[in-house]
Amino acid sequence: SKHFAVFGHPVAHSLSPKIHAAFGRQTGIPVDYRAIDAEPGQFTHALSDFIAMGGVGANVTLPLKQVAFTLCDDLTERARRAGAVNTLVRNGDTWHGDNTDGAGLVRDLTDRHALDLRSRRTLLLGAGGGARGVAPALLDAGIGDLYIVNRTAQRSDALADALGEPGRVHPRYLNDLLSLGEFDLIVNATSAARDGQMPQLPRSIVGPRCAAVDLNYGEAAIPFLAWARAAGCRDVVDGLGMLVEQAAESFARWHGVRPETDAVYEMLRSHHD
């Protein structure tokens, strides 16, 4: 039978197996989807084992999205632009790489949260796998200028270069935040809260109708979203909806059917708030 999995480190608490099982029940497609823990250095080996036992598709989560990108034989345009892969599709002897994170985020923000993203002056915090996944889709959704701020400056520079829109995309430093003015959309794509930390953010970056979005959900989304509420952001959104939407996109890639996401989102929301 066909096997699917999510690879990550740590991955034990991933909600993806539950989401894909629910999509399988809803669509009547039998789904065998498990979580597999792999450190970056073991990922290639773990993928070989997975293929040997019948693995034909996988999700990839932190910190493996950029490693996964390098292991793919071919890529969708959006994965290539992201430089990160969250969805693997086995194609004969090769891995085809896609990235559904950005489409998932945009769908959650525009459809579920009814946010109009067009022309929003946007601050992206972080330049790792998560940030890379969502940046192209945000640009395609019509946001205004995109400022990328990361603790390690060379990674924000590299992401800005990869996006290939120098007129609209500006890498900046954490120390510059006070001089960057107000934003209409602030996206936290850092993993800082997973280590119990948060970048220092001045209130001056919050515009009058600002939406704050954390790509994390659960405990890891608490510090940034608490800051956002206190700083007066009008809309405050965690990453649970994006998680469900990116999973639906991946499910569609593998099974040819796009599941309905609202019921699964509501189920997870009631269990994880």
Active site members: 65
The rounded distance, in Å, linking the Cα atoms of 204 and 226 is 16
155 annotated among ligand-binding-site residues = yes
The rounded distance, in Å, linking the Cα atoms of 67 and 254 is 21
C-alpha distances in Å from residue 91, one per residue of 74, 95, 98, 131, 261: 10, 6, 13, 27, 27
Nearest to 272 by CA among 194, 218, 215: 218
Nearest to 259 by CA among 268, 250, 272, 271: 250
In whole angstroms, the minimum distance from the beta carbon of 67 to ligand ATR comes to 10
Size of site (CB under 6 A) for ligand ATR:
20
Nearest to 19 by CA among 6, 3, 1, 2: 6
- Asked if 218 is part of the footprint of ligand ATR (rule: CB under 6 A), the reply reads no
Give the number of other CB atoms < 10 A from CB of residue 223.
18
Stretch that binds ligand ATR, among 8-16, 137-145, 193-201, 228-236 (CB under 6 A): 193-201
Report the interhelical angle of 240-255 vs 262-271 (nearest 10°): 140
**Under rule CB under 6 A, which residues in 113-132 are in contact with ligand ATR?**
126-131
Stretch that binds ligand ATR, among 42-50, 58-66, 110-118, 134-142 (CB under 6 A): 58-66
**Under rule CB under 6 A, which residues in 71-100 are in contact with ligand ATR?**
none
**Site map for ligand ATR, 9-48, x if CB under 6 A?**
----------------------------------------
Known binding positions for shikimate: 14-16, 61, 86, 101, 217, 246
**Interacting residue ranges for ligand ATR, rule: CB under 6 A:** 62-63, 65, 126-131, 150-152, 155, 189-192, 195, 197, 199
